[in-house]
Amino acid sequence: MRRALRFVPLILLLSVAAELAVFVVVGRAIGFGAATLLVFAASLLGLVLLRREGIRAWRGFRDAAQSGRPPGRQVTEGLVGLLGALLLATPGLVSGLVGLVLLVPPVRRLARGGMQRAAERRVSSMAAGDLFGPRRVRVYRGAPQQPGQAPPPSTFPAAPPDAGPARPVADGGAIEGEIVEPRNG
C-alpha cells in the first residue's frame, strides 16, 4: 500500500493536466463560456447527487444492520455511488464524465464487485464473511494421499505457520475448493 501512495502526486498532476487539456479542447469546440457553464452544471449536479447517494448509502447500511444481514454489499454499493457523485461534483470534465459513468447501474455493479473483491483480499476470511455474508464453496475430492508421499503441485499458497495442524478429512482424501460468488446482485 505504501508503494502505491508514492504515485499519488504524479497521478494528481496528470489528472489536472488532463482536465486542463480537455477543457481547452471543449472550450475551443463549443466556446469557453459554454464549457465553463458545463463544468458548473456538472458540479452542481454532483453536489445534489452526493447528498442523495449519501442518504441512500446510510439507509442501505442501516436497513441491513437492523435486519441482521451482512452490510458489506450495501456499503460497497454506497461507496461506489458516493465516489461517482464526488467525482461529478469535482470541477472538471474528465472527472465529471468518470463520475457520471460510475452512476450508471451496470457499471456501478461492476465497480461494486471489484471493490468487494479488493476488500475481501485485504481482510481476513472471517471478517469478509461478517461483511459480505457466507460464501458458497465448490468442493472437489482429490486422490487420497499415502503417508510420506509428496503432495501434487498446487496453485494454492501454503497455509500460514500459525494456522495449526491440518485436520484430516474423513476418508483421508484431499479437498480442493474454490469460492463461488453468490448471484444476488
Cβ atoms within 10 Å of 36's Cβ, excluding its own: 14
For residues 81 and 60, the answer to whether their CB atoms sit within 8 Å is no
Can you give the pLDDT of all 185 residues of the chain as single tens digits? 577 788 889 999 999 999 999 999 999 999 999 999 999 999 999 999 999 998 998 898 888 888 888 888 888 888 899 999 999 999 999 999 999 999 999 999 999 888 888 877 777 777 777 777 766 555 555 555 566 555 555 544 454 455 445 554 555 555 555 555 555 54
Of 80, 77, 104, 83, the closest CA to residue 95 belongs to 83
Ramachandran bin of 31, using left for φ above 0, alpha for ψ from -120 to 50, beta for the remaining angles: left
